[in-house]
């Protein structure tokens, strides 16, 4: 038995209070590449051997000559490698994830993950007899009806794989609609705004439309006069977000829709930023013909390192014939898949959608109900305005446009003053913020707001979380003014140090795979 030294007192056992900012350091395993861990002959898993004779029908020219150069590792070593990489990654569950603005980083409930691992989801084949998949079809059907109510739209498709795929699906439906009207040759222009996600412009172009982009007016709203000048007989559609990435709700949105309708075009609402207006206002109520939600944003499905996600397209009755096929229908007794939709744009992805995320989104809405969704919106907006108050107390930052007005779900800030004063740029601040265990995002390109930073605190974070995030930004701003070198040379507490990206743009030096790296860089 150990004996205590004679001269201790309770003061010796006292642990000092935490400093105001967390002393964070990210895991840094200095982990080699998987290929460097390979040890010939090791096996990660054994597979069933054939109980029947081998097949020799493959022509010699189509038989693989050399075994693939995959690494050979025991099971533990594969697991350990990936667990180390996971520790070098900052999921929502680990951090105050308010810094990836526009991404709606919210809590993805664990119970919903359990549902999708159930064999009743995970082990279903999509071509099973409908009688054997009534439960999952009912979930899809009910989720569609709930999203129809939330958007005010008549029909919803859950087939798109993510937000941009949903934007593309809407554009494809717009194209099919005008083709059916015999107006596609004439209506070859799509109008969008610079503060809408780049995929609005890019999907429209991919689908064959010319793109017209509206810039903000002096108040930060999309320019209504520019819209009036842009619309005409060539207008197929307006693709617009509201609130835009600035967080400012466009109060003249009905007029935007009216102007487009009067020109014979369709109005399509990118609802990536819907989290703050759930139960407050709906796409259909502002006159939109189409809209889409990102289920991985507003409806809580996990972001999964960048997908799988899920998108939902909502349309008015007039656009319903063009929805992707099949649709899920209910005849009062059972649920069934309707593939007999001759006007449909066809398939957007294999089968019926990203099913695990549809199950999660369904469960999330069912856990909240109408009142809960409204509370989600209200608290997200409260959190955003609270964080804005805290952030605007920091030296060197501003919230351009609509001064003195409230924001909805997020704010696009500007560090222009700080950059002018110190030479420290928004990207530097972002890298330094990583030293405190947080994410940080600037903005999509082009940077219309100079030195941008976009924060979106959703409903998931507590007041203490928001205070901590604001304190991190305040500290980094203080450093920029007093000791800019600390910020410019960040990260200091990350897994790795600053990368040297100049080789990524040259065909001689970029290396997208291990085999390319060995060939080009190592000269093997």
Partner 1 sequence: MTGVREPFVHPYIPNAVPAIKQAMLAEVGAADIEEFYADVPESIRLHRPLDLPAPMRSEAALARHVGGLLRRNVSTRDTLSFLGAGVYQHHVPAVVDEVVNRSEFLTAYAGEPYEDHGRFQALWEYQSLMGELLEMDVVTVPVYDGYQAAGTGLRMAGRITGARRLLITTAIDPGKLSKIQDYVAPVHDVIVLPVSPDTGLADLDAVRTELAAGDVAAVYAEAPSALGIIDPALPSLSRLAHEAGALYVVGCNPMSLGVVAPPAAYGADIACGDVQPLGLHMSFGGLNAGFIATRDEERFVAEFPSRLFGVVPTEVEGEYGFGDVAYERTSFALREEGKEWVGTAAALNGITAGVYLAVMGPQGMREIGETIMANTRYAMERLAALPGIEVPYAAAAHFADFAVRFTGAASTQEINDALLERGIFGGAALSETDALYCVTEVHSKDDIDHLAATLKELVK
Contact set for partner 1, span 364-403 (CB under 8 A)? 365-376, 378-379, 381-383, 385-386, 388-389
Residues with Cβ within 8 Å of residue 211, at least 6 apart in sequence: 189, 190, 191, 192, 201, 204, 205
Q: Pairing state of beta strands 210-214 and 189-193?
A: parallel
Q: Closest CB to partner 1 among 227 and 253?
A: 253
Phi-psi region of 422 (alpha: psi -120 to 50; beta: other; left: phi over 0): alpha
Q: Does 451 bind partner 1 (CB under 8 A)?
A: no
Helix (H) or strand (E) holding 40: none
Phi-psi region of 143 (alpha: psi -120 to 50; beta: other; left: phi over 0): alpha
Q: Does 514 bind partner 1 (CB under 8 A)?
A: yes
Sites for partner 1 among residues 129-148 (CB under 8 A): 129, 131-136, 138-139, 142, 146
Q: Does 304 bind partner 1 (CB under 8 A)?
A: yes
Question: Alpha-carbon distance 169 to 148, whole Å?
Answer: 17
Q: Closest CB to partner 1 among 48 and 332?
A: 48
Only segment of 68-76, 259-267, 416-424, 474-482 that touches partner 1 (CB under 8 A): 68-76
Q: Does 332 bind partner 1 (CB under 8 A)?
A: no
Q: Which of 499, 522, 523, 524 binds partner 1 (CB under 8 A)?
A: 499
C-alpha distances (whole Å) from 393 to each of 79, 102, 251 are 46, 22, 27
Sites for partner 1 among residues 466-485 (CB under 8 A): none
Give least dist CB 33 to partner 1, A: 7
| CA-wise closest residue to 295 among 157, 202, 410 | 157
Give least dist CB 455 to partner 1, A: 14
Q: Does 25 bind partner 1 (CB under 8 A)?
A: no
Only segment of 31-39, 226-234, 412-420, 469-477 that touches partner 1 (CB under 8 A): 31-39
Only segment of 222-230, 281-289, 414-422, 478-486 that touches partner 1 (CB under 8 A): 281-289
Q: Does 290 bind partner 1 (CB under 8 A)?
A: no
How many of the other CB atoms lie within 10 Å of CB of 22?
14
Q: Which of 21, 189, 195, 208 binds partner 1 (CB under 8 A)?
A: 208
Q: Does 356 bind partner 1 (CB under 8 A)?
A: yes
Q: Closest CB to partner 1 among 347 and 395?
A: 347
Q: Does 338 bind partner 1 (CB under 8 A)?
A: no
Query: How many residues appear in the chain?
Result: 524
Question: Alpha-carbon distance 255 to 330, whole Å?
Answer: 37
Q: Which of 42, 183, 223, 417 binds partner 1 (CB under 8 A)?
A: 42
Question: Alpha-carbon distance 149 to 152, whole Å?
Answer: 5
How many of the other CB atoms lie within 10 Å of CB of 125?
8
Q: Which of 460, 468, 477, 480 binds partner 1 (CB under 8 A)?
A: 460
- Interaction mask 167-206, partner 1, x per CB under 8 A: xx---x--x---------------------xxx-xxxxxx
Burial of 161 (0-12, 13-18, 19+ CB in 10 A): buried
Q: Closest CB to partner 1 among 8 and 52?
A: 52
Sites for partner 1 among residues 221-260 (CB under 8 A): 248-251, 253-254
Q: Does 500 bind partner 1 (CB under 8 A)?
A: yes
Structure tokens at 57: 């029908």
| CA-wise closest residue to 193 among 248, 153, 233 | 248
What is the total count of residues that contact partner 1 (CB under 8 A)? 217
| CA-wise closest residue to 270 among 309, 302, 251, 298 | 298
Please check whether residue 292 is in contact with residue 271, taking contact to mean a CB–CB distance below 8 angstroms. yes
Q: Does 404 bind partner 1 (CB under 8 A)?
A: no
């Amino acid at each position: 038995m150990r004996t205590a030294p004679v001269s201790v007192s309770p003061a010796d056992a006292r642990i000092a209070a935490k400093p105001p900012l967390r002393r964070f350091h990210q895991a840094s395993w200095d982990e080699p590449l998987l290929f460097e861990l390979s040890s010939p002959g090791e096996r990660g898993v054994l597979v069933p051997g054939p109980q029947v004779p081998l097949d020799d029908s493959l022509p010699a020219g189509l038989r693989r000559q050399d075994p693939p150069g995959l690494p050979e590792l025991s099971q533990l070593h594969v697991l350990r490698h990936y667990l180390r990489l996971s520790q070098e990654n900052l999921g929502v569950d680990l951090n105050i994830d308010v810094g990836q603005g526009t991404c709606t980083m919210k809590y993805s409930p664990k119970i919903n993950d359990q549902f999708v691992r159930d064999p009743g989801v995970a082990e279903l084949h999509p071509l099973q007899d409908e009688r054997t998949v009534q439960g999952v079809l009912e979930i899809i059907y009910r989720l569609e009806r709930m999203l129809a109510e939330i958007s005010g739209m008549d029909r919803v498709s859950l087939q798109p794989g993510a937000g941009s795929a949903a934007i593309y699906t809407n554009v494809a439906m717009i194209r099919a609609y005008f083709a059916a009207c015999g107006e596609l040759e004439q209506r070859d222009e799509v109008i969008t705004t610079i503060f809408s996600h780049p995929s609005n412009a890019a999907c429209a172009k991919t689908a064959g439309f010319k793109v017209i982009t509206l810039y903000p007016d002096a108040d930060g709203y999309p320019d209504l006069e520019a819209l009036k000048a842009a619309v005409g007989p060539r207008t197929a559609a307006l693709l617009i977000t509201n609130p835009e990435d600035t967080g400012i709700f466009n109060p003249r949105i009905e007029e935007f829709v009216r102007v487009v309708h009067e020109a014979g075009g369709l109005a399509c609402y990118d609802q990536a930023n819907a989290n703050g207006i759930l139960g407050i206002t709906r796409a259909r109520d502002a006159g939109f013909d189409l809209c889409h939600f990102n289920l991985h944003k507003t409806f809580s499905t996990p972001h999964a390192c960048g997908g799988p996600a899920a998108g939902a397209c909502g349309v008015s009755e007039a656009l319903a014939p063009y929805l992707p096929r099949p649709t899920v229908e209910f005849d009062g007794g059972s649920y069934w898949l309707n593939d007999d939709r001759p006007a449909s744009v066809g398939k957007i992805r294999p089968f019926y959608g990203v099913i695990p995320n549809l199950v999660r989104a369904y469960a999330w809405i069912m856990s909240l109900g109408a009142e809960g969704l409204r509370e989600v919106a209200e608290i997200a907006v409260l959190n955003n305005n609270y964080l804005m108050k805290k952030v605007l107390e920091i030296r060197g930052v501003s919230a351009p446009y609509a001064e003195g007005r409230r924001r909805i779900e997020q704010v696009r800030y500007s560090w222009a003053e700080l950059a002018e004063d110190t030479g420290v740029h928004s990207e530097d601040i972002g890298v330094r913020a990583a030293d405190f265990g947080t994410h940080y995002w600037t903005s999509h390109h082009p940077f219309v707001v100079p030195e941008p930073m976009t924060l979106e605190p959703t409903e998931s974070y507590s007041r203490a979380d928001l205070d901590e995030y604001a304190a991190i930004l305040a500290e980094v701003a203080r450093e920029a003014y007093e000791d800019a070198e600390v910020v410019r040379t960040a990260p200091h507490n990350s897994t790795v140090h600053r990368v040297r990206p100049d080789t990524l743009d040259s065909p001689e030096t970029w290396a997208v795979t291990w085999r390319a790296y060995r060939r080009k860089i190592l000269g093997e």
